[in-house]
Amino acid sequence: RKRTAVLISGRGSNMGALISAAMAPSYPAEITLVISNRPDAKGLERAAEFGIATAVVDHKDFAGDRQAFEKAIDDVLKEHRIDLVALAGFMRILTPYLVNAWSGRMINIHPALLPSFKGLATHERALEEGVKLHGATVHFVSAEMDDGPIIVQGAVPVLDHDTPDTLAARVLDVEHKIYPKALELVATGKTKVTGARVVTGAENNNSAELI
Ligand code: GAR
């Protein structure tokens, strides 16, 4: 089982979905560490309740020195002999320093169907643009924000009465399905990356989730 760290900044519902999936003994990854850049992140308490080691690396302690912040994260990851890193609502942009060190071993979930709606306020922007399908993406992390080879996507309909909140809730449900699926594909070594494309060799396409 691949020793996996989850990096969070807030409530940690995706972290919870990964922890639940990893409770099955047959799941190829175990969550052995949760790191937050915010000491008050709700997800930290939740992780501790599951008996998972937690660490806080507060970006405010590094006075804008991004590399020192990232080195501190890297040190904790190494201390815990981590194999894979899953960013789950981790709201700091990482520099090539950490991204390159973990290339092919660090994944992220983004609340939109990339490459549409990179960045923040994805649900507001999806409604403004009038798209009829929206969703979430799990991808390998590359040096560019919300970029990198796509592992799994989940799509949801946009409904007439949607507000950013109702749409966010529908997308969050699909996030909780696709993140465990993506981590499983990566942890079993099934993901082969060619350029921007990830193939898994599965006979049936297991990389799209439609709600
Ligand atoms: C999730 O919707 C995740 O996709 C998003 O933050 C939320 C975290 O929720 N991530 C980003 O916006 C990354 N830029 P959670 O803490 O309950 O998992």
Average pLDDT, the chain: 96
Q: Which two tokens stand for residue 2?
A: 């691949």
Q: Which ligand 1 atom lies nearest to the CA of residue 10? A: 16
Q: Could you give the ipTM of this predicted complex?
A: 0.99
Q: Which tens digits make up the pLDDT trace of 138-174?
A: 999 999 999 999 999 999 999 999 999 999 999 999 9
Can you spell out the DSSP letters for 83-140?
SEEEESS--SPPPHHHHHHTTTTEEEEESS-TTSS-SS-HHHHHHHHT-SEEEEEEEE
Binding residues: 12-14, 66, 91-94, 108
Pocket test for ligand 1, best of 38, 172, 174, 177 (most atoms within 8 A of CB): 172
What are 44-76's pLDDT values in tens digits? 999 999 999 999 999 999 999 999 999 999 999
- Among the listed residues 59, 80, 110, 161, the single catalytic one is 110
Q: Is 123 a catalytic residue?
A: no
Q: Is the pLDDT of residue 98 over 80?
A: yes
Q: Which residues contact 19 (CB under 8 A, 6 or more apart)?
A: 6, 31, 47, 50, 52
Q: What residue has token string 């946009």?
A: 158
Q: In the structure, which protein residues have their CB atom closer than 6 angstroms to any atom of ligand 1?
A: 8, 10-14, 43, 88-89, 109-111, 172, 175
Task: For the full predicted model, state whether its pTM sits above 0.95.
Answer: yes
Question: What residue type is assigned to position 163 of the chain?
Answer: T
